[in-house]
Chains A and B, each alone.
Chain A
């Protein structure tokens, strides 16, 4: 990656972490709403980057958010998992003849493929994180409800940042 690209992604990283910890983790609407918008960074991370590096960046991002939100390990665990699953999800949905290095977006993949990809990523992340937060199956319905509400909000937020034409 050229220096310019590194700079661009570093900037994205910082802005998304700050948005997540200062705004989206503080929405108190109905007591449930806590969309994990920071995953936008992993969703549109270039696919050409070494997979190990992607995992390390995901771990770093999760760990930073953990430090801010007082939840040691939770975000790191969920983010690394999603970053790991990303390659397989993309292989599942994207046609084989797609070139190797691209940043997943509506413009590159088209709406149907991108939507399928984002939906899977977001639901897995939310389900994992809220389950870890509860750390028991006692609050199962609450976890599912939070996953459903926040996944919808996050998917809408991710789509709203995409250029369609």
Chain B
């Protein structure tokens, strides 16, 4: 017994070292699971409150830019309302049929503010100031008035974590607006202004300056939201896919306000897809 104690006294530090490193390592390995990440993530109430407080100071420096963005968006929306009203009047005038249901009716938007954001890591993340009580759930899309931002990964009552396009785990299905050729949007972790598109077959027609938009295959994003603009495309000799680089539509360094996309019939769609599989 005494020998055992002496042994522990002598090598206790080494045991403690190995023990602490093992705990850390278990956390690192398990962080891929959403449930565990949301336990220790920045949607954690305390750290989110600190970020919230810090953000309320920093916010003032970006106010003029945010104002400009909001008024721009306001203008766009007003223009759209005028145009749609005209269209609606025309449709109800000329025919006695009801106007066609717009696809957008299936989607609702929840406005939220970015309270923490990073672009300098391989696995970046964004925290929003709205959460479960505002109707946000995991796997909802996040966009701003420029384009796609990311996908919600975890929520608490008042905060939500988002995996942005600038995360090596992010995979978003997209297509060329002009030719409708599909691909997968990825990020190689190097430049936060540029993303890569994979799995576009060689026979597709892609040109520099093409706009890439969401494909609308999943219930996460509506179809046709810009994700990027092709800046470079090549067909390497030894590959069956294009190698495409695109400038991101949303500018991640200055994100401030975003919208979370809520798909009304998500459960229904999931159910019918499940039945399809069986």
Stretch at the interface among A27-35, A90-98, A108-116: A27-35
Contact check, B16 vs A71: say whether CB atoms are below 8 A apart: no
Q: Enumerate B234-263 residues with CB–CB distance to A below 8 Å.
A: 253
How long is the Cα–Cα vector from A74 to B31 in the complex, in angstroms? Answer: 10
Other-chain contact of B121, A34, A68, A77 (Cβ < 8 Å)? A34
Interface string of A36-80 (1 = CB under 8 A from B): 000000000000000110011001001000111111111011001
Q: Are B42 and A76 in contact (CB under 8 A)?
A: no
Q: Check A55–B27 contact: CB distance below 8 A.
A: no
Contacts of B125 in A (CB 8 A): 70
Q: A26-B118, A142-B189 are in contact. Are A77 and B24 (CB under 8 A)?
A: yes
Which of A27, A56, A72 lies in contact with B27, CB distance below 8 A? Answer: A72
B20 in contact with A71 (CB, 8 Å): no
A132 touching B28 by the CB < 8 A rule? yes
CB-CB nearest in chain A for B161: A70
Number of interface residues of B (CB under 8 A): 39
At the interface, yes or no: B177 with Cβ under 8 Å from chain A?
Answer: no
Determine whether the beta carbon of A139 is less than 8 Å from that of B25: no
Q: Is the CB of A84 within 8 A of B17?
A: yes
Give the distance in Å from the alpha carbon of A70 to the alpha carbon of B40 in the complex: 7
In the complex, residue of chain B having the shortest beta-carbon distance to the beta carbon of A81:
B21
Question: How far is B120's CA from A28's CA once the two chains are assembled, in angstroms?
Answer: 6
In the complex, B190 has a CB within 8 A of chain A: yes
Residues of A1-43 contacting chain B, CB below 8 A: 22, 25-28, 31-34
Asked whether, in the complex, the Cβ of B20 is within 8 Å of the Cβ of A80, the reply is yes
Please report which residues of chain B, range 1-40, place their CB below 8 angstroms from some CB of chain A when the two chains form the complex: 12-13, 16-17, 20-21, 23-31, 36-37, 40
Cβ contact within 8 Å between A71 and B31: yes
Q: Is residue A133 within 8 Å, beta carbon to beta carbon, of the partner chain?
A: yes
Nearest chain A CB to B205's CB is how many angstroms away?
Answer: 31
In contact, B20 and A59 (Cβ under 8 angstroms): yes
- Chain A residues in 8 Å Cβ range of B17: 55, 80, 84
Given A70-B41, A77-B28, 17 new contacts (CB under 8 A): A31-B191, A32-B120, A55-B16, A56-B16, A59-B20, A68-B42, A68-B47, A70-B125, A70-B161, A72-B28, A73-B23, A73-B31, A74-B24, A76-B27, A77-B24, A81-B21, A139-B122
Which 5 pairs from chain A and chain B are nearest by CB?
A73-B27, A77-B24, A73-B28, A72-B27, A76-B24
Chain A: residues with CB nearer than 8 A to chain B? 22, 25-28, 31-34, 51-52, 55-56, 59, 62, 66-74, 76-77, 80-81, 84, 132-135, 139, 142
* 27 chain-A/chain-B pairs, Cβ below 8 angstroms: A28-B253, A31-B120, A31-B191, A33-B120, A34-B121, A56-B16, A59-B20, A59-B24, A66-B27, A67-B42, A68-B47, A70-B37, A71-B123, A72-B31, A72-B37, A72-B40, A72-B41, A73-B27, A76-B27, A77-B21, A80-B17, A80-B24, A133-B122, A134-B122, A134-B189, A135-B28, A142-B189
